[in-house]
Structure 1
Amino acid sequence: MSVLCTVALSASVHAQTLPKPVGPVILTVSGNIGNKNSAQGAEFDAAMMDAMAVSQIKTTTPWRKGVVSFSGPTLKSLLKLVAAHGQTLKMTALDKYEVTVPAADAEQFNPVLARKINGVTLRLRDHGPLFMVYPFDALPALQTDVYYGRSIWHLAKIVVE
């Protein structure tokens, strides 16, 4: 049996107005979104991402030694802010790596769009400026190549479909 899940995450009855980025754009969200701040969709600079509520995931990963603290806004809160509605998220990294993530992952697993690792802001050489991380230790079922592959670093674009 197949279950079809559509995620409809709206900020409220009246969408919150997104400011325009002042600094360099680090993330563009486009596609099926209701809250935009540019012709490209919803663009975010580092300050805008840092102004969002911060969540933290402490977990081990295949890419780092030991337990690491990843902090930043959640994917769920970002999708809510842009009033996203769709079933899939096509994510693209700065190096052109692409992965398609079910939109339901935002609700089900609450991954973090990490801006910091162990309190230090991610630089490009550290997988920044954005690195989507799942709570691997809290949910051991996520410790598979499928979810490791969805943990995209250098995240630059999300297209909601």
Structure 2
Amino acid sequence: MALADDAFLKIKGDGCCDGKGEVVLTRAEFEALPQTEVKTHTPWTEGHHTYRGVLLRDLVRIYGLKSLEVKAVAINDYWASVPLEDGQLYPVLLAEKQDGKVLTLRNKGPLWIIYPLSEYPELNKEVYHSRMVWQLTALESK
């Protein structure tokens, strides 16, 4: 478990993390999880980009989240409810890299929830755009 200075992503909620209720991952711990790439466009970027990170469904499985949705919280306290069903139906990604480069605060990092808008045109709607939280720091099981 990470110390506060090394915190990259906090995951918390009932049933989470072998009954501990919370885990704080470092970037290295996050990068050690199964990695996936999604190539897509977004409303906030030009053209298609390749995003790399961890699938939401993998985080749910690995850390035992048992709710129907998570509260995705950004650095600035913006948050959105993300139904876990989205992650089962689609390859929703917690991206830490864009085109091989680490996402920074200036370009929506450290983590950005990416929906595969190009592969699944039905996702290219405001309801899904609002769930694409950038500068993500926490997932809270609701």
Aligned ranges 1:46-65 → 2 under 5 Å: 46-65=27-46
Secondary structure in structure 1 of the residue aligned to 2:41: strand
After TM superposition, give the deviation of residue 54 of structure 1 in Å: 1.0
State the alpha-carbon separation in 1 of the partners of residues 15 and 122 from structure 2. 30
Residue 14 of structure 2 aligns with which residue?
32
1:144 aligns with 2:130: no
State the alpha-carbon separation in 2 of the partners of residues 46 and 107 from structure 1. 24
CA displacement 1:3-44 (0-9 Å, x = unmatched): xxxxxxxxxxxxxxxxx1266111111112332596x60111
Tell me how many residue pairs correspond in the alignment: 141
State the alpha-carbon separation in 2 of the partners of residues 101 and 121 from structure 1. 23
Contact 1:36–1:42 (8 Å) recurs in 2: no
Q: Aligned pair in 2 of structure 1 residues 47, 71: CA closer, same or farther (>3 Å)?
A: same
**AA in 1 matched with 2:43:** P
CA displacement 1:86-110 (0-9 Å, x = unmatched): 1111111001111011111111112
Name segments (4+ residues, structure 1) moved above 2 Å: none
Secondary structure in structure 1 of the residue aligned to 2:50: strand
List alignment gaps of at least 5 residues for structure 1. 1-19
What is the identity percentage for the equivalent residue pairs of Structure 1 and Structure 2?
27
Q: Aligned pair in 2 of structure 1 residues 64, 37: CA closer, same or farther (>3 Å)?
A: farther
**AA in 2 matched with 1:31:** G
Residue 126 of structure 1 aligns with which residue?
107
State the alpha-carbon separation in 1 of the partners of residues 25 and 104 from structure 2. 16
Secondary structure in structure 2 of the residue aligned to 1:72: strand
Aligned ranges 1:10-29 → 2 under 5 Å: 20-21=1-2, 24-29=6-11
| TM-score (norm. length: structure 1) | 0.82
| TM-score (norm. length: structure 2) | 0.93
Secondary structure in structure 1 of the residue aligned to 2:34: coil
**AA in 2 matched with 1:28:** K
Larger Rg: 1
List alignment gaps of at least 5 residues for structure 2. none
Q: CA RMSD in A?
A: 1.6
State the alpha-carbon separation in 2 of the partners of residues 154 and 34 from structure 1. 22
